[in-house]
Structure 1
């Protein structure tokens, strides 16, 4: 069976400030670099065979920490980027609440925003799933794939791969920095959830 590990990047200064990043290319903070270096050996112990990453700096730097201890060379795929948050990017949650109160309330409930240029949930899920299925197919059976990606993108990919209705996405807890979701795949059962928020 294939093991797919969706690994969220380390912390950024914007994460710490509750500032919405989306596809803004923010770097890891010192804390984030430390998180990546601490979690990489634990992932390396799972003997990964494939390493892919979003091409945003915070994910690619996180992937580099695993590359250093595993010897894998990461591939980069823009489809693994975070959900685009349009006009919200760069603003804190409080600022978005003030300027787009109804839209932000919908977002908090896990509903579509349909405002401010925020990427649709279905679009995020489709691009993530397409990228991950391609990697899985190319890796072959019994592969261990690590995908360094982003919180919202990983959540929607998880729900889509499991075949759950997207309305259940809010029930899947937020993925913490440098934590991971583990999914197994076999030809008979398809995708199953093995772990969520694994340190």
Structure 2
């Protein structure tokens, strides 16, 4: 019996377009993001999901709602799926962070777990998101579950679930808006990565924020 977990990043926002670190600021989808969600939902609906779970932040919740509209499945919300809390960096561009918090951003670029400036640690992020992934998968053993979340949360949750070291996580490209990861769970091998950064070709899938890997 194989359970498939689709980890879906939200659509584009104005802060994505401006290259601003969103973290847990509740920024809504923009028009492009809504179109991306609608296009992706058509493809994901063909997988016949048995359950949909989303972060309670609007950009992820509204992305999940596009899939709910196609499938008729109501999405549940789990705050553990929220993006990494970026503390004093939220709302700032990378250039602004480099000017105001140079030591912290240097640690972030180096992939350190603790960067300071009230930014959530990678370990804490990975633990809470991977727990949410496991609970979501348990909703439909042997079926397909779609989880709508955020870029850094998706990547670190995946890494924690698979037991990857930090050096390996840093080899992954940033997850594009409305693209997804597929993880499978089966008895014996356990959790495995089946696909990464899969999505529907559409306008504007690469944003300024993706280039710095901080949605």
Q: Normalising by the residue count of structure 2, what TM-score does the alignment of the two structures yield?
A: 0.90
Cα separation, 2, equivalents of 1:170 and 1:94? 21
Cα separation, 1, equivalents of 2:48 and 2:140? 14
Asked if 2 retains the 8 angstrom alpha-carbon contact of 1:184 and 1:193, the reply is yes
Cα separation, 1, equivalents of 2:16 and 2:106? 20
| Residue number in structure 2 paired with 1:47 | 48
CA shift for structure 1 position 113: 3.8
Q: Any gaps of 5 or more consecutive residues in structure 2? A: 200-215
RMSD: 1.0
Q: In the TM superposition, what are the counterparts of 1:16-165 in structure 2 within 5 Å?
A: 16-140=17-141, 142-165=142-165
Aligned length in residues: 198
Cα separation, 2, equivalents of 1:12 and 1:196? 21
Q: Normalising by the residue count of structure 1, what TM-score does the alignment of the two structures yield?
A: 0.97
Q: Any gaps of 5 or more consecutive residues in structure 1? A: none
Q: Deviations over 1:8-27 (max 9, x none)?
A: 00000000100000000000
CA shift for structure 1 position 44: 0.4
| Residue number in structure 1 paired with 2:170 | 170
CA shift for structure 1 position 167: 3.1
CA shift for structure 1 position 107: 1.1
Asked if 2 retains the 8 angstrom alpha-carbon contact of 1:110 and 1:169, the reply is no
Give secondary structure in 2 for the equivalent of 1:138.
coil
Q: Deviations over 1:16-47 (max 9, x none)?
A: 10000000000001110110011100000111
